[in-house]
Structure 1
């Protein structure tokens, strides 16, 4: 019997970790949960952009409506993930 020596690997880059996580989600998680994670991440990024605009004092009414909508999308996605017991996928406990 010959012993198998494990092949050393370098640590994954952050981009590779994210890609592996996305693949893992697609293979192991129901599609509605994957969609909720995606919806949350996109809405969260948009909310951050609009919050930066608000901090400058130059937020328009349309920007404010867009921020409220992004926050509503985040809340909805969070509720789907909480119902599925997978709030951990967006960094929640």
Structure 2
């Protein structure tokens, strides 16, 4: 009989399917306020990127400028919520 020890059983890196399952499980266990903050941050981030691209191509209209400001305000609020929850890891790229 072969006994595996912690040093002989490979654990890293996890298969991509296992990473996906763990990510879904973690999201299911997060407090609702954190889930909302992550979702708001992601949507506002996409909108900011979209409007920033327009800004590079031409001047923004007043409505586009307001939308950009609003998206950045949402991102800042969501980031503050996540910082308070100690979960900035959900939106920031690890260093």
TM-score band w.r.t. shorter chain: 0.7 to 0.9
The alpha-carbon distance between structure 1 residues 18 and 49, as it changes in their structure 2 partners (threshold 3 A), is: farther
Distance, in Å, in 1 between the alignment partners of 2:22 and 2:32 is: 17
Unaligned runs of 5+ in 1: 4-10
Distance, in Å, in 2 between the alignment partners of 1:19 and 1:47 is: 30
Number of corresponding residues: 86
Q: Does 1:12 align with 2:8?
A: no
Q: Which has the larger radius of gyration?
A: 2
The alpha-carbon distance between structure 1 residues 43 and 19, as it changes in their structure 2 partners (threshold 3 A), is: farther
Does the 8 A contact of 1:25 with 1:34 survive in 2? no
Task: Give 1:26 deviation, angstroms.
Answer: 3.1
Task: Give 1:27 deviation, angstroms.
Answer: 1.9
Secondary structure of 2:16's partner? coil
The residue number in structure 2 matching 1:36 is 37
Secondary structure of 1:26's partner? helix
Cα RMSD for the two superposed structures:
2.8
The alpha-carbon distance between structure 1 residues 30 and 48, as it changes in their structure 2 partners (threshold 3 A), is: same
* TM-score between the two structures when normalised by the length of structure 2: 0.73
The alpha-carbon distance between structure 1 residues 41 and 61, as it changes in their structure 2 partners (threshold 3 A), is: same
Does the 8 A contact of 1:53 with 1:59 survive in 2? yes
* TM-score between the two structures when normalised by the length of structure 1: 0.75
Does the 8 A contact of 1:40 with 1:77 survive in 2? yes
Unaligned runs of 5+ in 2: 4-14
